[in-house]
Amino acid sequence: MKKIEHIGIAVANLEESNKLFKQLLGTAHYKIEEVSSEKVMTSFFQAGPNKIELLASTAPDGPIAKFLAKKGEGIHHIAFEVSDIYAEMERLRAEGFRLLNEKPKRGADNKLVCFVHPKSANGVLVELCQEIREEK
Ligand code: CO
């Protein structure tokens, strides 16, 4: 894996948290993006070389709504950038990690993503992400 691409934080109210993180980081979010397949609205902040992704649920039965009900607001996942998500998924599977999706899916921020189950990573939800390279 190349580096930490972003840290995902689950929040109850995106508008309020956008204000809070603007105060905290000294810079406003640079984009808001809905990922309807995940029932989530995201906003992204750039802090130096690092990114923070805020995640708010758009449906009461979405994964973020469930996370908030169980654990409350806070760090939700750590995302690592990979250059070949298929190869990395294959490698992790062979190492015995439990992946939450069979195939990479389209996430926010022009990425192909796959999640590793927190039960196989000491309680940490790990996201693999690879920039989508548009091929013609
Ligand atoms: Co993420």
Give the tens place of pLDDT for each residue, 47-68.
999 999 999 999 999 999 999 9
Which residue type is seen at 36?
Answer: S
CA of 95 to the centre of ligand 1 (A): 23
CA of 113 to the centre of ligand 1 (A): 8
CA of 5 to the centre of ligand 1 (A): 8
CA of 77 to the centre of ligand 1 (A): 7
Count other Cβ atoms within 10 Å, centred on residue 23: 9
- Mean pLDDT across the chain, nearest whole number? 95
Instruction: Give percent of the chain with pLDDT exceeding 70.
Output: 99
Span 78-89, average pLDDT: 97
The pLDDT assigned to 135 comes to: 62
CA of 136 to the centre of ligand 1 (A): 27
Which residue type is seen at 14?
Answer: L
β-partners of residue 77 are 8
CA of 96 to the centre of ligand 1 (A): 22
Q: What is the DSSP string of 13-61?
A: -HHHHHHHHHHHHSS--SEEEEEGGGTEEEEEEEETTEEEEEEEESSTT
CA of 133 to the centre of ligand 1 (A): 18
> In this structure, which residues have their CB less than 5 angstroms from ion ligand 1?
8, 53, 79, 127
DSSP 83: S
Report yes or no: 13 and 20 within 8 Å, Cβ to Cβ: no
Taken in order 5, 83, 1, 122, the sign of the CA dihedral is positive
- pLDDT digit string, tens, across residues 89-122: 999 999 999 999 999 999 888 899 999 999 999 9
The pLDDT assigned to 58 comes to: 97
3-state secondary structure of 103: coil
